[in-house]
Amino acid sequence: MVNLGFSIGDLHFKNPVLTASGTFGYGPEFDDFLDVSRLGGIVVKGTTLEPREGNLYPRMAETPSGMLNAVGLQNKGIDYFEKNIYPSISGYDTNIIVNINGSYVDDYVTLAERINTLDKIPAVELNISCPNVKMGGMAFGTNLDSAREVTRAVRAAYSKILIVKLSPNVTNIVDFAKVVEEEGADSISLINTILGMSIDVEKMRPALSTITGGLSGPAIKPVALRMVWQVAKAVKIPVIGMGGIMTTSDALEFLLAGASAVQIGTASFIDPQASIKILEGIEKYLIEKGFSEIKEIVGYINRTK
Ligand SMILES: Cc1cc2nc3c(=O)[nH]c(=O)nc-3n(C[C@H](O)[C@H](O)[C@H](O)COP(=O)(O)O)c2cc1C
């Protein structure tokens, strides 16, 4: 009835609803709640070369309309992923994207090379925007030269679809989008969390062990939407928008602003079926408005005066 599909390069997605890294595990954690294969794609937990324990507790704090986290890329590393996780998720009939992270450019390159060999992983999302790690992460995504260097190096080593995830913690997001596009990214995803902090006044100390952490959820949506709109107008490659998408209407705002697809993050913690409900809501909206293809609404506000 309605064609919800879109493509990044030669990679087809059956619909524009993906789940955001770090908020959906590897997929099986949600099997009891929804049919993961119905999603356009899942971006699995941030993966590093070596296992990481993450930061000390407390590493989550609630804030008005948002959540601060400082998980710090806790994961079991690429060897464990390859041996134990990959076989259990490669049967999903959806695009599985691995979110890759490192402290050095070579870490990203080695990870990308390893993932290049996994047949059922058609894309990586280069996370140059994690605010919760001591080395690497956001440091790459908040310096133009570093963003250029890491994207160039991974592009040279990785032949499948390369998505680069940008940090909102910069003055001019468009500069970063243009640099990663120039260096061969096939798509840009944004935004990662916004650096924030919270203090427990009773205990008279920071709410997070790391003092600062990444803010996600409804509180960041207007900032995310503004950045997605700016980036979508500035680049030719498809943009994947995220940041505070809780409802169908939120997702539609990102599509109308120019995102070809969306990722659902914090919403899945509140309602594990949020992604599927949003997918169904988008389809219903298109039917009601009389559109037959999702691409008719992508960037709609930029085409109308
Ligand atoms: C608990 C938690 C863990 C996250 N882990 C990652 C991660 O490993 N890699 C990454 O690129 N983003 C990570 N993110 C950021 C999300 O993917 C997303 O960019 C951000 O939360 C904004 O979207 P939202 O407001 O819909 O949650 C994490 C977010 C949360 C809340």
Quick: pLDDT tens for 157-206: 999 999 999 999 999 999 999 999 999 999 999 999 999 999 999 999 99
Question: Beta strand 187-190 with 6-8: parallel, antiparallel or unpaired?
Answer: unpaired
Mean pLDDT of 85-107: 96
Candidate from 193, 239, 242, 278 with most ligand 1 atoms within 8 A of CB, to mutate: 193
Is the per-residue pLDDT at 58 higher than 90? yes
pLDDT recorded at residue 305: 61
Dist. CA 67 → ligand 1 center (Å): 10
Q: Give the CATH number of domain 6-55+71-196+215-303; options: 3.30.420.40, 3.30.930.10, 3.20.20.70, 3.40.640.10.
A: 3.20.20.70
**Catalytic center residues:** 130
Angle (nearest 5°) at CA 10 between 188 and 248: 50
Name the residue at shortest CA distance from atom 19 of ligand 1: 192
Is the per-residue pLDDT at 133 higher than 90? no
| CA distance linking residue 231 with residue 126, whole number of Å | 17
Q: What number does the ligand 1 atom closest to the CA of 60 have? A: 1
What is the pLDDT of the chain when averaged over all its residues?
96
pLDDT recorded at residue 263: 99
Listed in sequence order, the residues at least 6 apart from 129 whose beta carbon sits closer than 8 Å to its beta carbon are: 137, 138, 140, 141, 165, 166, 167, 168, 169, 190, 191, 192
Quick: pLDDT tens for 20-55: 999 999 999 999 999 999 999 999 999 999 999 999
Dist. CA 288 → ligand 1 center (Å): 32
Mean pLDDT of 269-294: 98
